[in-house]
Chains A and B, each alone.
Chain A
Amino acid sequence: MNIRRLPSLVGRLGWDARLVALLLAVLLLAGLLEPWLPPAEYKAPASGPRRSAPGAEFLFGTDSLGRSVLARTIEGIRLTFVVSATAVTLAGIVGSIIGMAAAYMRGVLDPLIAAVTNVMFAFPAIIFGLLVTAILGPGTTSAIAAIFFVVLPTMIRVSRSATMTVIERDFVIAAEISGASPSRILRVHIAPNIAAITVVQLAYMLSIGMIVESALSYLGLGVQPPTSSLGTLLRENSAFIVAAPWLVLAPGAVLAVLIFSVNYLGDYARGLLDPVEPRALA
């Protein structure tokens, strides 16, 4: 499916997908606009009593330094989203270029790339992320690098197999016969036709990216305090799970909702791109 037809999908979204999209938009907007929203004032220590339960004044309660959990959770949305979206976008661009090149050039390049992606798949994502962060040192950059390498092999595979199906089409053969250069064929004829499937895959990968980011931060290797991603919040407060459960459960629930809505929309978009119509058994 051509990328130019992607916007037309929006018109075909059902009410459920629109609702989830709205929820996601609200969460992300809140995260991105967080520094200018009212709760931001209560991010500083001693903004309220220490470890007070959720109530009218502090919707998600306060943590052990008297900071508003709501404010820190909204900040966490921004960091979790920005870190994973950056990594996944980079991996999408690099992965598609490598995948298209592998499928189109063939020769030695294709099996070589296949072998390298197999090695990358052989690393469980978390262990791989651990090593990358261990090498680069804990922090935002290494979290981005870790997610990049976790997502990259999938993006290579997806764009490679999508390219394979496009290569055989008549318009590509026609372009080749009329003397178009390989780079022109990749840019003009192949890229727009694999873009839709790549973008939908990216949505899925975004949810994986957010899981990896928050897991690394939970293990203490991602975003470092005093700024916090959602995973950092869970790590910091895991000791208070019994005494002050809202410190852990509130950011955890927000993280789960965030990932769920990305997954839901990704699945929905894929269903629209590639509909399956099973027959009911009599």
Chain B
Amino acid sequence: MGAFLSRAVIGVMMAAATILAVATLVFFGMQMIEGTYEELFFPLVTPEQRAEIAAARGLDGSQWDRYVAWLSHAVRGDFGTSLITGRPVLDELASRLPLTLQLGLIAIGLILLIALPLGLLAGVFFRSRLSQTGRLGGMALMSLPDFVLGSFLLWLFSRQDWWLRVGGWRPLSEGLLPNLQYALLPSFVLAATGIGIVLATTRSAVMQTLAQDHVLAATSRGVPSGRLVRRHVVRNSMVPVMTMGGIIAGYLLGGAVIVETVFTLDGVGRFIVSSIAARDYPVVQAGVIFVASVFVTINLIIDLLYSLVDPRIGSRG
């Protein structure tokens, strides 16, 4: 367990360093964008007035001083107020989080429910025609950009009344069924790439496991195939599938931007994009840090889970 603990400590430190690096990049990146907040929104005032406006919003002084001030507030959980709405950044993000979070969670559910069982079947019965179909289907889903699939579903479901709705939103507080009626299609679009990736990875991981000698040994010992799949194949195929978990998390976070744009949903992703255009520095900085933190945390958890699934990884440190 000592190895696991030191692995966890190093992991947390690496994660913190990564988030700090991302925060720094975003801060100075936003400053580099041509056309500052005060230039964009107050084009017709004198330079003195503009300097005053900037000072009132804490946008004066050297970049480095502002960076230090912002960072020292941020580590205490104070991300400032939005330049556009004047409300605290965290409130703005929190009010949009449930929608994005829900899209992401339903998407993860869809990926696990659809891709894992199909991938396992396609891997075990790799000679069947169904397995080939699964491979092609997975690849097709991977190749379909979110906004193409989203536009297609938008067109299809705006013509037909098949209960599911495109565009608009009903929060979970209005009941599960009305909520799903609006959330299911965007979530599916968000999940599509992930379903393709996990299906393909699971299939090839299972096939790789079946090629190993310990499976042959178990077969020749007469282990029944159901037990063989459960005990030998599934567990050994988990590691490559879990590696994809981190990549999937990245896809979901980035995909949220696209899906929210296609279906005009008011979530965190679209908020960050519109805030870049509006030079709402505090919102972009906090938003990107949030996205990066989610991503880094998921990867950290996956990394630690490896050593539990495959004890060899933990002992190597």
Is there an interface contact between A125 and B148, defined as CB atoms closer than 8 Å?
no
Inter-chain contacts of B71 with A (CB < 8 A): none
Given A214-B145, A259-B145, do A234 and B211 touch, yes or no (CB 8 Å)?
Answer: no
Q: Which residues of A contact B18 (CB under 8 A)?
A: 118-119, 122
The chain B residue with its CB closest to the CB of A235 is B147
Q: Does A245 contact B (CB under 8 A)?
A: yes
Distance between Cα atoms of A218 and B257 in the complex (Å): 11
A119 to B139, Cβ gap below 8 A? no
Cβ contact of B292, chosen from A122, A245, A248, A260, cutoff 8 A: A122
| B33 and A134 contact, CB distance less than 8 A | yes
Across-interface contacts of B143 in A (CB, < 8 A): 207, 256, 259-260, 262-263
Instruction: Give the distance in Å from the alpha carbon of A214 to the alpha carbon of B29 in the complex.
Output: 23
Which residues from B are CB-within-8-Å of A125? Answer: 250, 254
Which residue of the partner chain B has the closest CB to A267?
Answer: B139
Of A115, A127, A218, the most chain B CB neighbours within 10 A belong to A127
A9 within 8 A of B: no
Tier of interface size on chain A? 35 or more
B210 adjacent to A278 (CB under 8 Å) = yes
Cβ of A105 within 8 Å of any chain B Cβ, yes or no, is no
Residues of B within 8 A of A260 (CB): 139-140, 143-144
Smallest Cβ distance from B59 to chain A, in angstroms? 17
A134 B204 Cβ-Cβ under 8 A: no
A219 in contact with B151 (CB, 8 Å): no
Interface size of B by Cβ–Cβ distance < 8 Å? 64
* CB neighbours of B17 from chain A (8 A): 115
Query: Quick one: CB contact mask for A116-136 with B, threshold 8 Å, 1 for yes?
Result: 001101111111001100110
Contact digits for B192-207, partner A, Cβ 8 Å, 1 yes 0 no:
0000000000001011
With contacts A135-B32, A219-B273, A264-B139 known, is A122 near B151, CB below 8 A?
A: no
Besides A130-B257, A215-B258, A279-B216, 8 other CB < 8 A contacts?
A: A211-B145, A215-B146, A215-B147, A241-B158, A248-B155, A263-B142, A267-B139, A278-B209
In the A-B complex, the 5 residue pairs with the closest CB atoms: A124-B254, A126-B254, A278-B210, A260-B143, A252-B148
Chain A interface (Cβ < 8 Å from any Cβ of B): 115, 118-119, 121-127, 130-131, 134-135, 137, 207, 211, 214-215, 218-219, 231, 234, 238, 241-242, 245, 248-249, 252-253, 255-256, 259-260, 262-264, 267, 276-282
